[in-house]
Amino acid sequence: MSISLISKIVIFLLYIISFNSIAVSDTNLELERKIRGLLKHTQSHDFLRGYDRSQILMSELLEKVSKIDDEALILEVHYANLLLADSRTSVKDFLGSLKIVLALSEKLKNYKTHALAITIKGTFYQEKEDIIQEIASYKSAIEYANKHNLKNVISGNLNNLGGRYIYLGLYKQALKYYKEAIEIDSSPLVIRNIAMTYMLLGELDKAESILTTQERLNPHGLILLSSIYVKQKDIEKAKQQLSKIRRDFQPLSSANSAYSTLAEAKLHYSIQEYDVAVKLFEEGLSSNVYFSPSDKQKNLYLLSNSYYRLQNYPEAARTYNQWALLKNAIDENRIKQAMSLLLAEFNLEREVNKKENFEKDLLLANDKLASNEKIKELEIFVTFLSITITLLIAFLFYKQSRKNKLLNEFAHTDMLTKIKNRRSIILCLENSIKSLKSNDLLCVAMLDIDHFKRINDNFGHDVGDKVLCAFSLFVTTFLRKSDTFGRFGGEEFLIIFNNTNIEQSKAILERLVKELSDFEFPEVGSVTFSAGLAQYSNQDIKTLIIEADEKLYTAKNSGRNQIAA
């Protein structure tokens, strides 16, 4: 073979290799271009709340991005996947993308993305209602951001921590985090959060002072300031803040419009203009804006009470049922999350015990130390450790006292109807009897909803629960302030009539029977009750209740929907 022929073959082979390299390079560039286009499309769908479509596109993206080498683009895709995660996303899938993001962001020295990914981990666990992992993630993000001087990330996570403690009702702890945040970032959001926390703590003057010293408030700040003035009974100033929103921030966003409408509703509610309040509450709550469950249930309660004041009992019952179901769900969630925190603190207490044992070991080691200098250093260390343990124990004691207060509240409230439970109403009866003077009177009534089993059988237990809630609201709002009302069990209720003889008590109950007959319960229509009355005359509590119960059966055997005394 000649040298010329060999040269030609070599040149041909080099051409083929060069062509293939260019083709592979062009293929990669085309794939990366498609990935960037899909990524942009995914984010736009998420913005429009097209979650399912975004997830389909993201699955396609994750498959394509596994075939490229551009680490920055891989990081961008997996970070976008984290942003799309919510309660429907599996923990395994989320942590898989998180691992890739953390590794690549560290490798590429993209420290802000790294810190924000840890923050997103916190919000993901908030969706999963895992408060321990959520709070640990926020604290971890703060620790990482401190190392890299990422002030906005630190402030944002301090705000996240404050928000979670606000949700749990731990306002002082929330205030601590918000104050740390404002040292870094005095943004309107942080300022508003501090003012809101002071308002929740009942320190209205401080809350007002923080907001009124600001040069300019955004709509959220003005709405909060209006709420503070309403609580201070300064209606004119409250109206002025809402007028500023309508005057200075047009056109209003849908969220600002809805929240300002609800603030105006509360203003009219506070001055007993219930007809106006109802229209504004309904308008605000029917908007397409997202309200937190806590905000929604507070507004539903005021709406229900407004309907009741206007004697629109069907609407009062309907909105009360919505409020009761939502509040029950919120309370259950708060208890679960609070208990999770308490469990975490219990584990912390175990760590404290370990430290105490370590302290004892150190003290025993003093005898084995040959050097006085080492002994002195050890004593300093032990003192520091003792102070730390004392502070930790004090912290745990404080948390335990808060837990006891929370548990005491739940121990005395019927979780379905939100009125006093059997234990609480019996305790009230004991206290009322103890406080009686020689000429004081007291009567007890045992109430039972007629044919309640028939309601459960015909309409289901969910409707039966709604009837119990609506009946409890009706009776609570009907009774005098001096009367005490509680659920005795099942469909039985107990009323304590203080400073009232048996004739007066019976007259009150007969009026209640009449008014209830005009009330239509949702889904079931008219509901009646029977009651038995007994007057206290130095008998023990058990005997008094038995007498009322016997009278109740007399009323039922006589045809129901009546009072027996």
84-98: burial string, b at 16+ Cβ within 10 Å, e else? bbeeebeeeebeebb
Q: Residue by residue, what is the 3-state secondary structure of 378-447?
A: HHHHHHHHHHHHHHHHHHHHHHHHHHHHHHHHHHCECCCCCCECHHHHHHHHHHHHHCCCCCCCEEEEEE
Report pLDDT for 29.
58
Report pLDDT for 45.
43
CB atoms near residue 284 (< 10 Å): 22
Q: How far apart are CA 249 and CA 525, in angstroms?
A: 47
Q: How far apart are CA 183 and CA 393, in angstroms?
A: 29
Task: Provide, rounded to the nearest whole percent, the portion of the chain with pLDDT above 90.
Answer: 34
Asked whether the predicted pLDDT for residue 417 surpasses 60, the reply is: yes
Using one digit for the tens of pLDDT, what is the confidence trace for 364-398?
545 555 455 556 666 676 676 777 777 777 777 76
Report pLDDT for 10.
38
Q: Which amino acid is at 174?
A: A
Report pLDDT for 86.
80
Question: Looking at per-residue confidence, does 84 or 160 come out higher?
Answer: 160
Minimum mean pLDDT range among 298-307, 353-362, 436-445: 353-362
Quick check: 207 and 228 in contact, CB under 8 A? yes
Asked whether the predicted pLDDT for residue 358 surpasses 60, the reply is: no
Q: How far apart are CA 207 and CA 23, in angstroms?
A: 66
Minimum mean pLDDT range among 323-327, 389-393, 449-453: 389-393
Q: What's the whole-number mean pLDDT along residues 81-98?
A: 85
Dihedral angle over CA of 434, 439, 440, 444, nearest 10: 90
pTM of the model as a whole = 0.54
Using one digit for the tens of pLDDT, what is the confidence trace for 115-141?
999 999 988 888 888 888 888 899 999
- Cis-peptide into 522, omega within 30 deg: no
The total number of residues written for the chain in this structure:
565
Q: What's the whole-number mean pLDDT along residues 53-61?
A: 73
Asked whether the predicted pLDDT for residue 425 surpasses 70, the reply is: yes
Asked whether the predicted pLDDT for residue 18 surpasses 80, the reply is: no
pLDDT band at 426; cut points 50, 70, 90 = very high
Dihedral angle over CA of 512, 517, 522, 524, nearest 10: 120
Asked whether the predicted pLDDT for residue 25 surpasses 50, the reply is: no
Mean per-residue pLDDT of the chain: 81
pLDDT band at 248; cut points 50, 70, 90 = confident
Asked whether the predicted pLDDT for residue 59 surpasses 70, the reply is: yes
pLDDT band at 12; cut points 50, 70, 90 = very low
Question: What is the Rg, in whole angstroms, of the alpha carbon atoms belonging to the chain?
Answer: 33
Q: How far apart are CA 374 and CA 376, in angstroms?
A: 5
Phi, psi of 505 (to 5 degrees): -60, -40
Minimum mean pLDDT range among 101-105, 367-371, 463-467: 367-371
Positive or negative, the Cα torsion across 527, 530, 533, 539?
negative
Helix (H) or strand (E) holding 535: strand 529-535
pLDDT band at 36; cut points 50, 70, 90 = low
